[in-house]
Structure 1
Amino acid sequence: MGGIQYICLLAFIIGASLLTTSNAKSSRDVSAELNRIPASKWLQYVETALDSVNRQTRLEDNLLGSDITVKDGSLSHAQLLDTLPSLASQKDNKLALKILKSSLIVFNSECLPNEIDEDACRSYLEKKPLPEGSSLRTECENSLTGNGEGHHAFRRLLGSSHYRDGFYKMFPNSGRRETVPAAWSISKDLYEPDSIQTSKQQTVEGNSNLGLPQWAQFVEHDLSKPVSQSMSNGAPIECCSRDQINLQPRHHHPACAPILYQPAGKYNVPSCLNYVRSALAVDNCNFGGAEQLNQATGSLDLSQLYGFTAAAERKLRVLEGGFLRSTQRGEFVNALLPTATDTEGPSFCATESIGDGICFAAGDSRVNSSPFSILIYTIFLRNHNRVAAELHHRNPRWRDEKLFQAAKAINVDIYRRVVIEEWLPEVLGPKLASEIRRRQSNPALGVFNEFAVAAIRFYFSMVPNELQNLTKDNVVYGTEKNNQYVFISKELPTKNLFELKEEIYKPKLQYTSQKLNNILESLLNQQTMKMDAAYSGGVVWHNNTRPTHADMLAFDIQRGRDHGLLPYHRYLESCVLSEPVKSWKDFEHFIPSDVLDKLKTIYASWADVDLIVGGISEKPVHGSVGPTFSCIISEQFVHVLKQNEQKAALKHKQLVEQYRHFNGTQLLCLSSGLSAVPQNIFQLPSTSNQMVSCEDV
């Protein structure tokens, strides 16, 4: 089925789903029953909820008194940086929890006794305003009026969530048995040693280089940031001991949903990974179920570099010449990201003490998640400052603010075009990428939960643990001919540049401009791992190998359940199939037989398969991902492109037009010390993707 059909069918099924829901509601007059509740009772339910939330602070005091919190340098600290909430997000979440608690009290007090099912109850409450005269409604209205940071909830692609109580309780099963496999168990069962993955890789025909998955991560940082809940005083929540053992129930915060694994017959072994439920958002002052907060801006605006707010952006500026802060000024091609101050350090790196290695600062806490991430952030920092210098040279009377905003607009436009015109066709295939750019859509709907915590996370399955040293000084890869570098051959590298598992949020490399050049050159010349359900040992925790972070696949599975994502088969049905899935056999066309056999041993039912697991298990079509993730990513970018149109920088339109010739090749050449880069920066050099000399750029 063609790519555009995915989107059309999806829209059709969303409409059909809403119609079915409407019919179900009309079969019983839920409104008539719940409308009988007197105003005094609604106020009572809200006050009861507020009392319950206030009692939680006493539990938190006890946890802090017992020193149950995230320690600097711990495994949980590294994971926290992936989901670090701002003060504004913490405030929004606290309010959202009060509304959710009020809704749950109504559900348990009114809906359950009257045999109103959870979906019908939630649908009614989502349209029911908080009671007038309640302190909660006043707090909510004041919050929405003064919400300068513009946090929004993630949207749901199919309009419904998957919770046991219809509101918030994690519901990781189809109802056919009590529980599905633990997230960590699934990751361990799908794991294959890197040696086996390497041998399989040698039989794979592919031309994508590591730039493709790394840009996916950079795009994720721009569009999506689910953040974890915190204690009332802002302290991070810990659900495991420092030795990765599950805590006693009395030490569990209500937001804890630890990722647990208990090997048969083994005790006192690492069996607990911290997982704190995601912060919730407030979109209106009605009752309702849980919707997670997106701390990112949700548009392609380089907010991960510049910061999500004006205040954060100002901290990253030199406030002179239009420049962003960097470790050095002058030669922009050699500049590194600014280093975090001693105070900022724990918000960017998971080190035990100040001064343990270099720690970079940027607009997002995830900047130090890997050397690849550091590299791409640095490229756009350099490009901003280079453009600012060019503008100042041409317009010497311009002041800092005008220079900065113009350079930012140009930098963002270059980034958008590389993402949309060069990266997206590699992910989705040229045909679908072109089709979604022409598709008309309703006003932008924001970021979908399914995109944020499943589909865009495909890149982790494509990243190897080691970056080989594939610099031109280490391998023979081409000769110069007519000012172009023509691919000839590669020799085995003599040394890897780094192991990913040693660098996540704990930068150990001696970062210099030359080191980043080596990483970039090797990234452009190393093939990606094929997308499948077997992650590299660098990003999962298997056997006795202790990483510097949590198990990424287990984390994504757990987070999908926390966010109430529907099972995989629901999205496959909506995106690809014309009828409901009825058995494992319906997956055979999309998932390789050996992987499907594994899934059958892991899950008791096909209806239990998690979206992230099903999505990464699919055979790629047209681009780099399978049909379900292709559908979700394309649907997301339809709305991203619409939002970009709405936010076009008209003030700097003429300046931006002057840089419209810029492409990925020019960006890398002018922001690094490489002598040549491929014409297509997301594909390996070859006779059909020749190297372009940077002297000619």
Structure 2
Amino acid sequence: MLSSFSRLIMSQPTERSRLIIPVTNPCEYSFSSSISRERKRRVKQFQCCLCALFLSILLVTIIITVIYSINANRIVNSTIPENDGNITVETSVISFISTTFPITDKQKSNKILEDIELWNEAIEEGKRNLLEKDKIEEAIPSLNIQSPSYRHQRVTATSKRGRELSRVGFVEEFATKHIYRNVDNTTIDIMCQNQGIPSGGCCQNKTIQCNIFHKYRSFNGTCNNLKKPLDYGTAYRPFRRMLPPNYADAISKPRISETGEPLPSARTVSLVIHRPYYRDDPKFTVMLAVWGQFLDHDITATALSQKVDGSTISCCGQNSTTSPECFPVYLDENDPFREYNVSCMEFVRSAPAPTCCLGPREQMNQVTSYIDGSVVYSVDEDFAKKLRTLKNGMLKVLVTSDERTLLPVSDDLNDGCNREEYEMNGKYCFLTGDARANENLHLTTMHLLWVRQHNSIASNLSKLNSHWDDERIFQETRRIIAAQIQHITYNEFLPILLGKSLMKKFNLYPKKKEYFKMYNDSLDPSIANNFATAAFRFAHSIIPGLMKLLANDTSSPDFIQMHKMLFNPFDLYEPGGLDKTLRGAMNTNIQASDSYFTNELKSHMFERTVEQTKQPKLCGLDLVSLNVQRGRDHGLPGYTKWRQHCGLKKPSNFKDLQDEMDPDSLHNMEMIYNNIDDVDLYTGALSEKPIKGSILGPTIMCLILDQFYRLKHGDRFWYENPHPPQGFAMDQLNELRKTTLANIICDNADNLETIQRKVMQKAGKNNMYVSCKDIERTNLELWKENLTRLDFVTDETKIIVKKSIV
């Protein structure tokens, strides 16, 4: 509607008015000559003023808009623009900075059980249940060797040692149930033996004498912490609990709804919330995910339940009787897999870990929690020797006809990887310090790089110190390798996950010059159950469905579906295969870190094509469903409990998360979960918006930050620690700080000539390609040991000692 002022202006004669108006008076004209000119001048003045006013307002509006846009872009760019600018409020960062790390774990209380008779009854009851389990599993079939589930159970392999210990854990679990059926107690505490109460052979207390001056790590992590030499960070120990487990029966049955009803199927959670959605993050490369998996395998290896002979357990067969360790994922009627008559996804529970007490079920980490290179060497000293040549500190390799070195081979045709058609041509999968090395081609290449790196260092040290024996060269090399893995993790990998502010605040960046002097022997660095089972599995979200393989001409890539890289390391036998794989990983964008997953992970995991198997199609597995199910299996409390534990606001309903979560994920979450407290940790944490300076939401960031803080501050052999004789000399340490994943790749690829300096980040203006010759390396000359030779010269009156440097 026009203002009265506008109407007034429009009603006055202007230069566009007709000069002759309808005649009512023949002598009346629109304007007289003098009056007309004056009015015309004034109208023009007014119009100019009006235009100037309008332009001024327009200019101010533009300036304000530009300033706002710049500020908005600053926020978006600093929080990874590939996530569409979905960020949480900056108070999330403030809450972390004001929180004390590491966060204090909440543990169940321990009690001493005085009733010796009840204790012994309970142990015998546990043993009877173990024998019954063995009989049941003997009668049920194992998995088809061609099935995706068989490969899944083999890739998460349980060692013989892990299998033996899990049987003790099983006895403890059912002994716990027996006791609580016979005592009047509403809470489940941890019950330990009083002095003199026999354990029924279930657990033997051990002591160990540690040599505090020993220079090298043990393979299994013992004696790293001198206060808790058998417990903190050692292999074959239970995962650490940040929060007490939430089991349906408070002892071992998988978590259920807060209302007592079953939770929605893990497959339904995957289909409804974690849908396929293709949104990449061009700032980072797949090498970020490759390093994450390699690192994960160095510090976590969950043991799975197996039959007594180590064979697999089938849970979705036609038998009405199943193993008590079965926890299959059931599919809804409208599930797409129903087209292939699939109604159940195989899932066997993680093996129970012995605790030497009776209480809620715990799970076992088969490797050391320390970042120590065990992924290369193994945690078992006897197996580590099998990987060695026992000459000049070298590791075994396979030498090809064209003089390239590959990993030693595994000729086990039942390992889930080897295939008859390749074996006939002399091509096998590979053998390393970790049984999962063949899981995907990228992971196998990383293993190959580090075996080559070990042998390169060992060869140089052998030349520099010809007086060193095989064991000395091997251990010194192993110590350098562990240091380089630690440095890459904290200098290149973690800053992407946590952001600069938190890295600086909690002393996580490597030092520039001096030693790190904050080792804390009261800190338990053991891997947390939630970290291994949920938080560090965030990286599955960033894996793209298509991977590049790049020859020298990076403009003409080949593409391969991700699932076809699984258990398929045979490309490494081909000349150029290693370099093509590495270039592809460094030039493929990751997917955005969010609640969405590629269909390659949701429908085709561990699947082989019909051509590969020559058998009818078998549906692949849904990795997201398995991750959700694993959290319930481990009794991980719901998502809201973890927010509260991290000092974040605990939501009381779904609306409380509107500003924290992806809106579509939150809406779908509300559709299938009855209660906000029912939401699984994996699902809730992945649905949070990333916080400033990171690719992660606040809950996952909190849990990862806590763990990596402990891994650095709680490691007596941390590479920057000054403690003699474990510590490096300062000049050696400064050389180790030159380590980058780029120079590891350059030195150990076949014919790679150029590379971006930060290989986990996309090449571009601030991360240009450079010649491998220009990448700085560690100078091993500083490891040359100068010997002092004493020459004795005798004259008539005295003996003269002359010193000389060898």
Q: Normalising by structure 1, report the TM-score.
A: 0.84
| 4+ runs deviating over 6 angstroms | 10-13, 143-149, 329-332, 542-548
Letter in 1 for 2:342: P
Q: Which runs of 5+ in 1 are unaligned?
A: 26-30, 242-246, 476-492
Greater shift after overlay, 440-449 or 655-664?
Answer: 655-664
In structure 2, the partner of 1:626 is 697
Within the alignment, does 1:572 sit opposite 2:615 as a pair?
no
Of 311, 317, 323, the residue aligned with 1:253 is 323
Question: Equivalents in 2 of 1:510, 1:667: separation in Å?
Answer: 18
Distance 2:530 2:152 in 1: 20
Distance 1:510 1:674, change over 3 A: closer
Please state how far the C-alpha of 1:215 moved relative to its aligned partner: 0.9
- Give the equivalent residue in structure 1 for 2:472: 402
Task: Provide the alpha-carbon RMSD of the alignment.
Answer: 3.1
Residue number in structure 1 paired with 2:132: 55
* Residues 211, 681 of structure 1: 8 Å contact kept: yes
Instruction: Write the letter of the residue equivalent to 1:256.
Output: C
CA contact (8 A) 2:285 2:761 kept: yes
**What is the one-letter code of the residue matched to 2:567?**
Y
Residue 290 and residue 217 in structure 1: after superposition, are their counterparts in 2 closer, same or farther (change >3 A)?
Answer: same
Match of 2:767 among 680, 689, 694: 689
For the residue of structure 2 that corresponds to 1:128, the secondary structure is: strand
What percent identity do the matched residue pairs reach? 24
Are 1:188 and 2:256 counterparts?
no
Give the distance between the partners of 1:130 and 1:70, measured in 2 at CA: 43
Secondary structure at 2:601's aligned position in 1? Answer: coil
Structure whose residues are more often helix by fraction = 1
For residues 257 and 145 of structure 1, do their structure 2 counterparts lie closer, same or farther at Cα, with a shift above 3 Å needed? farther
Asked if 1:274 is matched to 2:346, the reply is: yes
User: 1:495: which partner in 2?
Assistant: 558
Query: In structure 1, which of residues 331, 336, 355 is the aligned counterpart of residue 423 of structure 2?
Result: 355
Give the aligned partner of residue 78 of structure 1.
151
Contact 1:348 1:367 in 2 (8 A): no
Deviation of 1:403 after TM superposition, in Å, equals 1.4
Q: Is the 8 A contact 1:375 1:516 kept in 2?
A: yes
Whole-angstrom CA distance in 1 between matches of 2:401 and 2:716: 35
Call closer, same or farther: CA 1:161–1:371 in 2, change over 3 Å.
same
Deviates more, 1:414-423 or 1:398-407: 398-407
- CA contact under 8 A between 2:408 and 2:431: conserved in structure 1? yes
Quote the residue 1:41 is aligned against: 118
- Which of 645, 669, 681 aligns to 2:746? It is 669
**Contact between 2:126 and 2:170, CA under 8 Å: does it hold in 1?**
no
Displacement of 1:508: 5.2
Within 1, Cα distance between the matches of 2:435 and 2:97?
33
Q: Give CA deviations for 1:351-409 in whole Å, capped at 9, x if unaligned.
A: 47882763111111111111111111111111111111111221233222221111111
- 1:302, 1:583 → 2: CA distance? 44
Q: Which is higher, the Rg of structure 1 or of structure 2?
A: 2
Residue number in structure 1 paired with 2:381: 310
TM-aligned CA deviation for residue 551 of structure 1 = 1.5
Aligned 8 A contact 1:517 1:674 in 2? yes
Question: CA–CA distance in 1 between the matches of 2:207 and 2:137?
Answer: 27
* Structure 2 letter corresponding to 1:208: F
Tell me what 1:590 maps to: 660
Q: Offset at 1:450?
A: 0.8
Pairs within 5 Å for 1:312-327: 312-327=383-398
Change (3 A) 1:513 1:586: farther
Cα–Cα, structure 1 residues 352 and 131, in superposed 2: closer, same or farther, change >3 Å?
A: farther
Deviation at 1:495, TM superposition (A): 2.9
Aligned to 1:539: 601
Greater shift, 296-305 or 641-650, is seen at: 641-650
User: 2:295 aligned with 1:223, yes or no?
Assistant: no
User: Is 1:167–2:251 an aligned residue pair?
Assistant: yes
Q: Report how many residues are paired.
A: 632
1:310 positional shift: 0.6
CA distance in 2 between counterparts of 1:507 and 1:213 reads 18
Distance 1:223 1:535 in 2: 25
CA shift, 1:571, in A, is 1.0
Greater mean alpha carbon deviation, residues 394-403 or residues 259-268 = 259-268
Contact persistence 1:576–1:627 (CA under 8 A): no
- 1:156 correspondence with 2:241: yes
Partner residue in 2 for 1:653:
728
Shift of 1:157: 1.5
Distance 1:454 1:500 in 2: 22
Preserved contact between residue 544 and residue 589 of structure 2 (Cα < 8 Å): no
Q: In 2, distance between residues paired with 1:391 and 1:329?
A: 25
Deviation at 1:143, TM superposition (A): 7.4
Match of 1:478? none
The reply to whether residue 456 of structure 1 matches residue 536 of structure 2 is: yes
Pairing partner for 1:91 from 164, 181, 184: 164
Please list every run of 5 or more consecutive structure 2 residues that lacks an aligned counterpart in the other structure.
1-90, 210-219, 223-233, 509-517, 610-616, 776-806
Whether the 8 Å CA contact 2:235–2:365 is kept in 1: the answer is no
Does residue 445 of the first structure (1) align with residue 445 of the second (2)? no
- The answer as to whether partners of 1:42 and 1:131 remain within 8 angstroms in 2 is no
The alpha-carbon deviation at position 96 of structure 1 amounts to: 1.1
| Secondary structure of residue in 1 paired with 2:399 | coil
